[in-house]
């Protein structure tokens, strides 16, 4: 026998444009005078639109105050007039108290087209499940014109990213699908175009300093002395820095000098990757046969390397290249000396 269930819904509209929807059958009551819409029920709730993260982020011209439920991240979101934000959940709900968190959100890699970036973070909570990731690009380091460009943990920069700034975000999710709040890195950039390496036949010297110990991102990571190699046999205060070298010390400058090279009265270009100590301490001086040029740089220890080059014209036969600091410390990686 088929049974039909009948539900009674009572609605009231007032002269002031207020609406009351009531399934408690208290038909003699009016809506709250401060509410444009009041819902009353003893057994039902309000169900907001349930949208995917990409649909929410891709919504065109949302109005401030709009609310939705992100069904992927399992959070309520509201639009504040500028961006979508996760709405705070109060009370003592265990799912809120035990939600996973992400900290130290950052990414590594060379900020150059065709290079891969890797998102990194510390996960805190129960066993991690399928945390979600977002890469954003913007026109400056404040996030202007922000646009989503990828949803994977690693991202390879493309031509459209040139001159843009990049941000990595993660929403932590545990193995019960409970998700925490999205956390994002700072903006980094601007993205540079890839550098075309010189022709092999023109290279007089190339050194990547591979196999050296230490590191180039902590204050104590480059304390072991470097004694030079075949390419740079003469050194003065040089230290191993994890596939790179540090030139100079906390109280004095340093230098490395190449082996004898045949310049053949041609133009000589010295290209190298540079970044400074925790702050900029002077500049780099490149010298060939008594002729010097200065290289200034902006990036410090926590940043990626900058690629810099200087060219010396009509350099006589046979000579050496000296790379020195003007004051204290700098990191050097991938030195290439070419002849036109």
What's the pLDDT tens digit per position in 96-139? 447 899 999 999 988 989 889 999 999 999 899 999 999 999 99
**In the structure encoding, which two tokens stand for residue 42, read together?**
């003893």
Q: Please say if the pLDDT value at position 189 is more than 80.
A: yes
What local confidence, expressed as pLDDT, does residue 206 receive? 95
- The Cα 136–Cα 186 span in angstroms is 11
What local confidence, expressed as pLDDT, does residue 92 receive? 42
- The Cα 263–Cα 278 span in angstroms is 36
What's the pLDDT tens digit per position in 3-12? 443 444 555 5
With CA atoms as reference, report the closest residue to 336 among 242, 261, 226: 261
**In the structure encoding, which two tokens stand for residue 123, read together?**
């996960």
With CA atoms as reference, report the closest residue to 230 among 254, 197, 257: 257
**Is the CB of residue 117 less than 8 Å from the CB of residue 149?**
no
> Average pLDDT, stretch 212-216?
93
Beta-carbon contacts of 147 under 8 Å, excluding residues fewer than 6 positions away, are 136, 137, 138
Binned at pLDDT 50, 70 and 90, residue 256 comes out as very high
Q: Is 290 exposed, middle or buried (0-12, 13-18, 19+ CB in 10 A)?
A: exposed
Full DSSP string of 170-185: EE-BBTTS-B---EEP
Strand 37-40 versus strand 19-22 pairing type: parallel
Looking at the whole model, is its pTM more than 0.75? no
What local confidence, expressed as pLDDT, does residue 36 receive? 77
**Is the CB of residue 162 less than 8 Å from the CB of residue 113?**
yes
Binned at pLDDT 50, 70 and 90, residue 15 comes out as low
Strand partners, 292: 287
What local confidence, expressed as pLDDT, does residue 37 receive? 79
Of 68-77, 153-162, 297-306, 321-330, the poorest mean pLDDT is in 68-77
What local confidence, expressed as pLDDT, does residue 16 receive? 66
**Is the CB of residue 137 less than 8 Å from the CB of residue 110?**
no
Binned at pLDDT 50, 70 and 90, residue 91 comes out as very low
**In the structure encoding, which two tokens stand for residue 196, read together?**
């075309």
Binned at pLDDT 50, 70 and 90, residue 1 comes out as very low
What local confidence, expressed as pLDDT, does residue 196 receive? 56
Strand 245-247 versus strand 330-339 pairing type: antiparallel
Rg from Cα positions in the chain: 30
Q: Please say if the pLDDT value at position 76 is more than 80.
A: yes
Count Cβ neighbours within 10 Å for each residue of 228-249 and write b for 16 or more, e otherwise: beebbeebbbbbbbbbbbbbbe
> Average pLDDT, stretch 78-85?
90
What local confidence, expressed as pLDDT, does residue 255 receive? 97
**Is the CB of residue 153 less than 8 Å from the CB of residue 105?**
no
- The Cα 140–Cα 54 span in angstroms is 23
- The Cα 141–Cα 125 span in angstroms is 31
Positive or negative, the Cα torsion across 46, 51, 57, 62? Answer: negative
**Is the CB of residue 185 less than 8 Å from the CB of residue 102?**
no
Count Cβ neighbours within 10 Å for each residue of 121-130 and write b for 16 or more, e otherwise: bebebeeebe
What local confidence, expressed as pLDDT, does residue 73 receive? 78
Beta-carbon contacts of 186 under 8 Å, excluding residues fewer than 6 positions away, are 106, 141, 167
Q: Please say if the pLDDT value at position 276 is more than 90.
A: yes
What local confidence, expressed as pLDDT, does residue 120 receive? 96
Binned at pLDDT 50, 70 and 90, residue 216 comes out as very high
> Average pLDDT, stretch 82-106?
74
- 217 phi, psi to nearest 5 deg: -130, 5
């Amino acid at each position: 026998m088929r049974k039909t269930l009948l539900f009674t819904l009572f609605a009231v509209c007032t002269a002031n444009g207020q609406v009351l929807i009531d399934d408690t059958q208290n038909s003699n009551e009016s809506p709250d005078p401060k509410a444009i819409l009041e819902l009353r029920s003893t057994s039902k709730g309000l169900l907001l639109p349930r949208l995917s993260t990409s649909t929410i982020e891709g919504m065109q011209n949302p109005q401030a105050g709009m609310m939705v439920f992100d069904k992927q991240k399992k959070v309520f979101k509201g639009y504040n007039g500028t961006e979508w934000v996760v709405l705070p959940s109060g009370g003592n709900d265990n799912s809120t108290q035990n939600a996973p968190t992400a900290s130290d959100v950052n990414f590594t890699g060379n900020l150059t087209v065709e290079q891969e970036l890797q998102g990194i973070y510390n996960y805190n909570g129960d066993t991690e499940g399928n945390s979600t990731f977002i890469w954003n690009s913007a026109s400056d380091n404040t996030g202007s014109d922000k646009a989503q460009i990828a949803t994977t943990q690693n991202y390879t920069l493309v031509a459209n990213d040139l001159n843009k700034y990049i941000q990595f975000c993660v929403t932590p999710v545990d193995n019960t699908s409970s998700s925490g709040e999205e956390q994002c890195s700072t903006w980094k950039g601007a993205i540079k175009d890839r550098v075309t390496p010189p022709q092999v036949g023109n290279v007089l010297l190339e050194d990547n300093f591979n196999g050296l110990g230490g590191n180039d991102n902590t204050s104590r990571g480059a304390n072991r002395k470097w004694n030079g190699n075949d390419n740079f046999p003469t050194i003065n205060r040089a230290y191993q820095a994890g596939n790179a070298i540090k030139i100079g010390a906390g109280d004095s400058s340093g230098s490395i000098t190449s082996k004898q090279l045949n310049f053949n009265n041609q133009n000589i270009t010295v290209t190298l990757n540079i970044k400074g100590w925790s702050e900029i301490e002077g500049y780099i001086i490149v010298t060939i046969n008594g002729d010097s040029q200065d290289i200034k740089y902006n990036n410090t220890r926590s940043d990626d390397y900058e690629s810099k080059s200087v060219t010396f014209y009509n350099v006589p036969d046979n000579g050496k290249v000296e790379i020195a600091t003007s004051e204290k410390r700098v990191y050097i990686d991938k030195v290439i000396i070419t002849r036109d």
